[in-house]
Chain A
Amino acid sequence: MTLVIKRDKTALVEIYRRYSKLLFPLIKKIVGEPEIAAGLLEEVFLIIWNKAHKYAEQPDNPYTWIITLARNRAVDSARRGRNSLSASQYYDDDYENRFILPRLAEGIDSITLDLAQKIKPNFEEALDKLTDAQKYVLHLAYYDGYTLNEIAGKLNIPVETVRVKIKNAVYNLRENLLME
């Protein structure tokens, strides 16, 4: 990413080579259609190129930044497709900066793709240890891109309950991963 910030196109090619195989299925899982996923993936890489300076303002964590960026862009697209309120929001530079570009916490540890792939088995086990309900709400939130209110409406449960379930899912996943 440092080289991308310095406008090194070859660095972006390298990022594409390494991440596209992960980002494409992620986006496809969120939006469903491969063509749309390809279009969004294209957008994601253009954002990486054009907004690399925004990355430079944050803690160095390429993996989390790129994955979150792709996920945010895909979810935004999915929400626009099913929600008129989301669709009415004009997608411009400011919108992209506020709602699409990830904001990493100051104390975040750096993760690379290699590290993520190394702990992939551990993560799978940690995920397996979650309850079905936890997995489901997590799926609804992360992949389906539903908001808290939408999940509550879909499951016909109070928003507060959804919050608690999401919290439990995320924290348990973290705990499980630490135990692995």
Chain B
Amino acid sequence: MAETLKEMMSAYVAGCLDNANLVQFLDYIDNGGEINKDELGELQNVAALIPIILEDEAPPASLQNKIFQQIPDNEAPQKIITKTKKAHLREILESKKKEVEKESSPEDIEIEVPEEVSFKSASKREKKEVKEEDLTIESGTAVPETPASDFEVEPESKVTVKTTVKEELPEEDTNKPHVEEEPIFAPKAEKKKKEKVTVPRDEESESFSHVTVKKTVRTTMIVPPGDKVIEDNERPVPVEECEEGNGSFFNTLSAKIVTAVSILVAVILLILYFSTKSNLTEKVTTLQKEKTVLQSEVNSKNDFIASNLPLIESFNQKDLIVVPLAGTADQGSYDARVLLSPSSRMGVLQFLRIPKISDKESLQLWLISKGQSYSVGVFHPKEGQKFYPLNKIPHIPFEEIEMFRMTKEPASGSEFPSGSTVYFGAFPVK
């Protein structure tokens, strides 16, 4: 490695590069400069060891508080709390899970007794719970192959064992069944004690083949009072069986009642829902119909106003002259009329009967004055539209107007009347 690089590295770790050189050196490293990073790391460690030889000196006592007051408390502790909570919840979940597994799973805990009977899990409990009173069970004969709910006996591997089980019961417990409450979060060892072990007995002796003991949730059994050989048909009844007998009945009954009430409530709610819904639907339909009717009325009014607007506006004029136009064949009646206002030179053409014309034709209104025809307008009348404004009335003194004439003309109109006359009407003389 070049000496210069070593010098730079040494100056870097000793901290005597100015900022410009420092940036340059770091850029060199960042850009893949040839540098022994291990060696640089070693030198950094060496330089960091320099202050280790200083005498220890505690900073002012108040400094610690001053520093940690500036650090928000809710950062770290929150995490700790969260962690604790998580752990706690996980613990609860696990224990609950185990409980549920125990309750729901018929999984057996198998206790193998190859040579001698082992009440490994039960004996511990018995030593704790049972006092003074000895229950001697001597067994020598084979266990009947009708195991109680707590046992499964496999006759293939029968082993004859003579056992003596001593149970010490406290005085106060001798005359009454001992019922043990299981703590919710019992440690594993405690739970082992609660494994229900019901030992089948045949008078003085009993023989055990391979014995399987079911593990249940509540494992305490009712011990018959006094010294007594327990007969097969006197198999101690586990407490939970008694409790479950009545309890399950009431539970089932209450569950059924709750279910029935729930169903009833649900049905009532459904009926209410559907009846309300149908009422509302009807109302909505009625309102929609009313809305449609009103809308159509509004539309027709609008149409009326739109189509009759020229007429309505013409009524605003003070001096209005009406010129009836009649067909050439009809006498005494008129099929159209012209309404004129001399002052504003505005007017309206009103059709009472629209003559039939083709698409290539139009109706053109002419003003006749001194034998000359002047176009007033070209119209393409539509069904339902009776009024057409007249905005281009020629500037001819009204007293010189002789008559109006309507002719059929080409669609774009004509410069002079060329088609047949449809309507005509004389201008009223003052």
Residues of chain A whose beta carbon lies under 8 Å from any beta carbon of chain B: 6-13, 16, 20-26, 28-29, 34, 37-38, 41-42, 45-46, 49, 59, 61, 63-64, 67-68, 71-72, 75, 86, 89, 98-99, 102-109, 111, 116-117, 119-120, 123-124, 127, 138, 140-142, 145-151, 163-164, 166-167, 169-171, 173-174, 177
Contacts and interface: CB of A to CB of B under 8 A. Distances in A.
Contacts of B56: 21-22, 25
A138 B11 CA distance: 9
Given A13-B68, A163-B11, A166-B16, A116 B37 contact: no
A148 B44 contact: no
B382 interface: no
A142 B68 contact: no
B48 A9 contact: no
A141 B15 CA distance: 6
Interface stretch (B71-79, B106-114, B167-175, B407-415): B71-79
**Residue from B6, B37, B41, B59 with most neighbouring chain A CB atoms (10 Å):** B59
A149 B41 CA distance: 25
Contacts of B54: 22, 25-26, 29
Contacts of A124: 53
B41 A99 contact: no
A67 B41 contact: no
A119 B56 CA distance: 16
A174 B43 contact: yes
B145 interface: no
A26 B55 CA distance: 9
Given A25-B54, A108-B42, A167 B67 contact: no
Contacts of B50: 127, 138, 142
Nearest to A176: B46
Given A16-B64, A29-B51, A106-B37, 5 more contacts: A71-B15, A106-B41, A141-B16, A149-B18, A167-B7
What are the 4 A-B residue pairs with the smallest beta carbon separation, nearest first? A108-B41, A9-B76, A107-B38, A141-B16
A148 B21 contact: yes
B17 A9 contact: no
A33 B195 CA distance: 72
Contacts of A169: 10, 14
B18 A9 contact: no
Nearest to A147: B18
Interface of B: 3, 6-11, 13-19, 21-23, 26, 36-60, 63-64, 66-68, 70-71, 73, 75-77, 79-80
8 contacts: A6-B79, A9-B75, A67-B48, A107-B40, A108-B44, A111-B45, A123-B52, A170-B14
Contacts of A20: 58-59, 63-64
B37 A107 contact: yes
A104 B12 CA distance: 11
**Residue from B13, B50, B58 with most neighbouring chain A CB atoms (10 Å):** B50
Contacts of B44: 64, 68, 102, 104-105, 108
A86 B46 CA distance: 27
B59 A148 contact: no
A72 B15 contact: yes
Contacts of B26: 103
Nearest to A145: B15
- What is the predominant secondary structure among interface residues of chain B facing chain A? helix
Contacts of A22: 51-52, 54, 56
Contacts of A103: 26
Given A98-B23, A105-B38, A138 B67 contact: no
Given A9-B73, A20-B59, A42-B63, A63 B48 contact: yes
Contact of B43 (A6, A34, A42, A170): A170
A38 B59 contact: yes
Nearest to A10: B76
Contacts of B53: 120, 123-124, 127
Contact of B10 (A45, A104, A170): A170
Contact of A146 (B16, B22, B52): B16
A71 B51 contact: yes
Given A8-B80, A167-B3, A170-B46, A26 B51 contact: yes
A171 B9 CA distance: 10
A38 B17 contact: no
Contacts of B80: 8, 10
A116 B7 CA distance: 25
A17 to B, nearest CB: 8
A132 to B, nearest CB: 16
Contacts of A102: 44
Contacts of B8: 163
A64 B44 CA distance: 7
Nearest to A149: B18
A175 B15 CA distance: 19
A164 B16 contact: no
B41 A9 contact: no
